[in-house]
Chains A and B, each alone.
Chain A
């Protein structure tokens, strides 16, 4: 909600809400607000039917209470038969109905992709009164994203982790992080068993080196194979993505991933409203819900717009390199051609597109 007292972003279904400051409860930013005078707590006397249904609350709140208790069925009914609810309640119900029964994003046409993105943007607007920018941009031809990590340079500052969390709207309550930085002891080699991926001290620590892991966007991803509903797949530009609305939450992909690349929303994810990154992509950092899988997407909302992922941009040491593997002039190609690169657990045949190297 837009009210200032609210610290976290959440739908908070059924919560009472004081009417917002801009006078119009519908949250429409442009155009007239259709049935404005109908609902918002008028002081005039009402009788019978109206006393029950036309209580002092914004339409938005009324709608929330309705959906919270009646979920899908109420959506359909209020769409078709409701006489009391305003246009926007109906619109929201219509959106919820269509969203509940939409298909798998992977199989959608471009028009359908745009339609679902429009619905999600509109739904957010109806709920919070704020606009966000969501893209459904497809993979571009002749692009295959790859990533390289310079072990010599990483000092364990974890700016990448912070940037990633902020960029990708990850759940703050559970402190979900896509990236793990492993602190390893010098002289022990790449000994993950003795590494610490949850350190709280000044870095770089004496006698240690650092190595980051995240989703490696395998070219032969085991997680994709095992998904029973194809809710996760490899895009043409090599990104392994999840359709959060199609995922059934069985967590088979999580068991299949050899790189600890996947995260599950065990509770309802929450991000403070002020911190929500509003520049979103359907397959990337849009708001997730409870009980679905998510993961690093190489910041699809950024990478497909020609920018570096947030972790690459945030890294103060330049340890992270990202680019198009099919572009012979890209930095990533230079690294692959001139450095002694290696990948983790190559024997598993997963073909990660994430290389490590040292200066």
Chain B
């Protein structure tokens, strides 16, 4: 009963917090709301017309939505790079950042689910997938694994921070024996969500571009580079605009994680390129299409040739201590790394999987404005959710939000 009362008070207080803020905060939220509304309008058109409102066809049947989904699973998984040092290795330097990381994971997962739903041909019959009332093709279909792990990870990443914040809200200390088992689980789970998402593609013998054993590990490496890079940028913003203290030491440690992951990611990229281009086979055609174009079709060239230099430049910048420890350079490097991996793992991974088609047909894919509108709307949704979560969490952590008896 008492807990319920505290909970009610928490909801009231957090509603109060998120509806009050500076002019900049209100402008930010208004902008996000506007983009979300545009996205919803675009989605309504898509519902009306069917998926023909997108640029996808029978030849390239997954596009922008699944690209973003894949990338965001990585961002969600990256929270583990903060959870593990904080809860498992007991490194106090990460403590301030971990709640932000988990909030980011929640937002990323909500975006993932939104992208999957946006990609469905029949969202009204999605209940067919709910175990019990529908038919859940487990364990055969990797998509059902993905549904399980994503929702499970979402659950873990909501409950652990909620428990901790709930305790802090009442001015109590969170008991570590309650949340540490959950944190341990989430470490494995984070690796799981990204491996399973990679297996989704890796398991298709029909698509040689995806059907390679390096895909899963490469997913992890790029996720642990792009995700923490985003966290660094978010922490930098929070540090500037709120009273929340995040020490330089924390950011530097996360930067170290980004650096190592980016280096490993680059090594794997080299390995992939070597395999595709040293002794090219019939199966290297997708890679040829991606990097050089095939038969005059080269829609992806500008994308990939933006991504690769950005990726290399970011990794080089991060590798030198002097540059990395200069925050201006660090933030720049994190930003370009994030963009580079978004391209590489989104467009650069999903679209070439379908090109050339099973019988060598090269049909290119360009997203439509509707599709881009829905995509931006979902990103705005993610930013909106994250802002709300972060604002409440920060309010509690700096002691502004407290339960009053």
Report if A260-B357 is in contact (Cβ < 8 Å); known contacts: A228-B144, A229-B135, A255-B62: yes
Annotate A249-272 by CB proximity to B: 1 below 8 A, 0 otherwise: 111101111111011111110000
Q: Is B359 a contact of A192 with CB atoms below 8 Å?
A: yes
Q: CA A103 – CA B206 in complex, angstroms?
A: 30
Q: Is B122 a contact of A247 with CB atoms below 8 Å?
A: yes
Q: Is B134 a contact of A266 with CB atoms below 8 Å?
A: no
CB distance from A101 to the nearest CB of B (A): 9
Q: Is A251 a contact of B62 with CB atoms below 8 Å?
A: yes
Q: CA A291 – CA B206 in complex, angstroms?
A: 22
Q: Is B120 a contact of A291 with CB atoms below 8 Å?
A: yes
CB distance from A244 to the nearest CB of B (A): 10
| Stretch in B49-57, B78-86, B258-266, B370-378 touching the partner | B49-57
Report if A248-B205 is in contact (Cβ < 8 Å); known contacts: A225-B141, A226-B143, A254-B61: no
Q: CA A249 – CA B54 in complex, angstroms?
A: 14
Report if A255-B360 is in contact (Cβ < 8 Å); known contacts: A227-B141, A266-B57, A291-B122: no
Closest 7 CB pairs of A and B: A249-B121, A291-B121, A258-B206, A193-B360, A266-B52, A228-B143, A267-B52
Q: Is B204 a contact of A222 with CB atoms below 8 Å?
A: yes
Query: Could you say which residues of chain A place their CB within 8 Å of the CB of B140?
Result: 225-226
**CB proximity to B under 8 Å, residues A224-242:** 225-231
**CB proximity to B under 8 Å, residues A324-340:** none
Query: Could you say which residues of chain B place their CB within 8 Å of the CB of A349?
Result: 205
Interface range on chain A: under 10, 10 to 19, 20 to 34, or 35 or more?
A: 35 or more
Q: Is A252 a contact of B143 with CB atoms below 8 Å?
A: yes
Contact of B50 among A106, A107, A255, A291 (CB under 8 A): A291
Can you give 16 contacting A-B residue pairs, CB < 8 Å? A107-B135, A226-B142, A226-B204, A229-B137, A247-B121, A247-B125, A248-B125, A248-B126, A249-B120, A251-B62, A251-B119, A255-B201, A257-B206, A264-B121, A266-B51, A291-B120
Q: Is B141 a contact of A252 with CB atoms below 8 Å?
A: yes
Q: CA A331 – CA B332 in complex, angstroms?
A: 70
**CB proximity to B under 8 Å, residues A204-231:** 213, 222, 225-231
Q: Is B134 a contact of A229 with CB atoms below 8 Å?
A: yes
Cβ of A16 under 8 Å from chain B: no
CB distance from A198 to the nearest CB of B (A): 9
Q: Is B358 a contact of A259 with CB atoms below 8 Å?
A: yes
Contact of A258 among B141, B200, B358 (CB under 8 A): B358
CB distance from A171 to the nearest CB of B (A): 10
Query: Could you say which residues of chain A place their CB within 8 Å of the CB of B101?
Result: none
Q: CA A316 – CA B359 in complex, angstroms?
A: 25
Cβ of B88 under 8 Å from chain A: no
Q: Is A193 a contact of B121 with CB atoms below 8 Å?
A: no
Cβ of B207 under 8 Å from chain A: yes
CB distance from A97 to the nearest CB of B (A): 13
Query: Could you say which residues of chain B place their CB within 8 Å of the CB of A290?
Result: 50, 121
Contact of A254 among B58, B137, B143, B285 (CB under 8 A): B58
CB distance from A53 to the nearest CB of B (A): 26
**Which among B57, B119, B143 has the highest number of chain A CB atoms within 10 Å?**
B143
Q: CA A213 – CA B140 in complex, angstroms?
A: 27
Q: Is B359 a contact of A197 with CB atoms below 8 Å?
A: yes
Q: CA A265 – CA B134 in complex, angstroms?
A: 22
Q: Is B361 a contact of A292 with CB atoms below 8 Å?
A: no
Q: Is A104 a contact of B58 with CB atoms below 8 Å?
A: no
**CB proximity to A under 8 Å, residues B272-292:** 285
Q: Is B50 a contact of A265 with CB atoms below 8 Å?
A: yes
Report if A228-B359 is in contact (Cβ < 8 Å); known contacts: A248-B122, A255-B204, A291-B51: no
Cβ of B338 under 8 Å from chain A: no
Query: Could you say which residues of chain B place their CB within 8 Å of the CB of A103?
Result: 135
Q: Is A230 a contact of B207 with CB atoms below 8 Å?
A: no
Query: Could you say which residues of chain B place their CB within 8 Å of the CB of A247?
Result: 121-122, 125
Q: Is B129 a contact of A222 with CB atoms below 8 Å?
A: no
CB distance from A140 to the nearest CB of B (A): 25
Cβ of A52 under 8 Å from chain B: no
Cβ of A19 under 8 Å from chain B: no
Cβ of B39 under 8 Å from chain A: no
Q: CA A256 – CA B126 in complex, angstroms?
A: 20
**Which among A180, A213, A222, A250 has the highest number of chain B CB atoms within 10 Å?**
A250
Residue of chain B at shortest CB distance from A291? B121
Cβ of B147 under 8 Å from chain A: yes
Report if A264-B61 is in contact (Cβ < 8 Å); known contacts: A225-B141, A291-B51: yes
Residue of chain B at shortest CB distance from A350? B205
Contact of B207 among A255, A265, A266 (CB under 8 A): A255
Q: CA A249 – CA B116 in complex, angstroms?
A: 11
**CB proximity to A under 8 Å, residues B92-119:** 116, 119
